[in-house]
Amino acid sequence: MRPRIGLVGLGYWGPNLARNFDELADLTWLCDASEAKQAEFAPRYPGARMTGDLDELLADDSLDAVVIATPVPTHHALARRALGAGKHVLVEKPPAMRAAEMDELVAIAAARDLVLMPGHLLLYHPGVQKLKELIDAGELGEVLCVYGNRLNLGIVRTNENALWSLGVHDLSVILHLLDEEPTEAVAYGRDFLTDGVEDVVFCHLSFPSGKIAHMHLSWLDPHKMRRMTVVGRDKMAVFDDMELERKVTIYDKAPWKRAETYGEWQTRSGDIHIPKISTSEPLRLECEHFLELVSGAGDRLKVARDGAMVVRALERLTDSLRG
C-alpha cells in the first residue's frame, strides 16, 4: 500500500512537494494556516482533505507521514508535534534553529523508530552525488579542502541572513562530502543593507582529519555562482550548478615531487574530464528517499543524525558571526 502523506505549508516551496508526493504516494491531507492558500489548493488536489489545523492531520491514524514546508522558525515545534503523534517527518531545512532543539527531535525519532529527514535538497542533486562518489572511490586522492561559492546580485532578504538563506545548502553538502564533524566553525560577515541581516558572509571550517572548508555566501556580488570545489592530492573536481552541460568537471591536476630535483614541487596538468550527470529532479529523488526510509529500507537514523550535524555547525557559525 502506498504511504499516506500530509503536507503542511503551501507557500512558495510546499506546492513542489505536493506535486511529487501526489505522484509518488497518497497525498491525503493538505494544511496551511492561510485560508487563501487553502482555497487555492483544494481544487487542485480533490483527493486530499484540507485544513488549517495540524491537529486534524495528527488525529488521523491512517496517516503515515507529515511533510513540513512552513517558515524555518516554526519547524521545530511542528516536527515535534508530528513525531509525538507517531508520524514520520520530512521537514524543510533546517529542522531546528538550535542544536538542543534538533537533538530533542532526533531523540524522539530514535525512541519511536520514526524517520526524521531534513529537506537537504542539494544532497540529492546528481552533481553532488557524483562528487561524493568520486571522493568515496578515492578518485581525487586524499581530499585536502572544499569550498563553496553561492553568490548573486539577487534577492536581498531582510528576515534571514546569507548564512541561513544560502549557507545551509552548502554546509549540508560540505559535511556530507567530508562526513566529519568540524572542530572549528568561524564566520565573518556584515549587514550592509538591512540592520542585523548579514548580506555577505565568509565561513571557515576545519576538521579533525586536517581538511579545511570555506563558504562565501552573498547576494551583494557581481558574480552569479553556485559552485563547490573539491581539491584532492591527485585530482580536483568542481560542481557548477550554473552550467547546463558540464555540471561536474574533473581536473587531473596536482602538485608532485620529482626525486632528482631535490624535493621541489612540480605541477602536473592532465586531462579535463566532464562526466555525464543525470538530469533527474533532485526534489523527486529526495521524496523517493524519504518514502524508502518510511517503508523500512535503509538507515532511518542516519539522515536525522546528519541533519543534527548541520544544525550544530550552523549554530556555531551563527554564534561566531554575532560574536
Ligand X SMILES: NC(=O)c1ccc[n+]([C@@H]2O[C@H](COP(=O)([O-])OP(=O)(O)OC[C@H]3O[C@@H](n4cnc5c(N)ncnc54)[C@H](O)[C@@H]3O)[C@@H](O)[C@H]2O)c1
Is 9 a binding residue for ligand X by CB under 6 A? The answer is yes
Q: Which of 182, 175, 163, 177 is closest to 128 using CA atoms?
A: 177
Compute the distance between CA of residue 69 and CA of residue 76 in angstroms, rounded to an integer.
Answer: 12
- Asked if residue 69 binds ligand X (CB under 6 A), the reply is yes
Site string for ligand X, 264-303 (x = CB under 6 A): ----------------------------------------
Minimal distance, residue 210 CB to ligand X, in Å:
31
Could you identify the residue written with the cell 521524496? 287
Helices marked H in 43-140:
54-58, 72-84, 99-112, 126-136
DSSP string, 184-245: EEEEEEE-SSBTTB-SEEEEEEE-TTS-EEEEEEESS-S--EEEEEEEESS-EEEEETT-SS
Contacts of ligand X in 34-53 (CB under 6 A): 34, 37
Beta pairing class for 116-119 and 49-51: unpaired
292, 24 Cβ separation under 8 angstroms: no
Q: How far is the CB of 266 from ligand X (least distance, A)?
A: 43
Options 26-34, 204-212, 239-247, 304-312: segment touching ligand X (CB under 6 A): 26-34
CB 63 within 8 A of CB 87: yes
CA 248, distance to chain mean position in Å, is 18
Q: Report if residue 121 touches ligand X, rule: CB under 6 A.
A: yes
Residue 72 engages ligand X in binding (rule: CB under 6 A): yes
If one asks whether residue 19 binds ligand X (CB under 6 A), the answer comes out as no
| CB-nearer residue toward ligand X: 110 or 283 | 283
Which of 210, 223, 221 shows the shortest CA–CA distance to 178? 210
HSE, side-chain direction, 13 A CA sphere, residue 123 = 24
Q: Answer yes or no: are the C-beta atoms of 141 and 255 closer than 8 Å.
A: no
CB 31, min distance to ligand X, A = 5
State the minimum distance, in angstroms, from the CB of residue 165 to ligand X: 8
Cα 74–chain centre separation: 18
Residue 71 binds ligand X (CB under 6 A): yes
CA 224 – CA 140 distance, rounded (Å) = 27
Give the shortest CB-205-to-ligand X separation in angstroms. 21
Q: Is residue 159 within the footprint of ligand X (CB under 6 A)?
A: no
Candidates 13, 56, 110, 206: give the one binding ligand X (CB under 6 A).
13
Binder to ligand X among 6, 20, 57, 70 (CB under 6 A)?
A: 70
String of contacts with ligand X for each residue 77-106, x by CB under 6 A? ---------------x--------------
Q: Does 189 help bind ligand X (rule: CB under 6 A)? A: no
Report in angstroms how near the CB of residue 57 gets to ligand X at its nearest: 10
* Residue 33 within binding range of ligand X, rule CB under 6 A: yes
Residues engaged in binding ligand X (CB under 6 A):
8-14, 31-34, 37, 54, 69-72, 74, 92, 119, 121
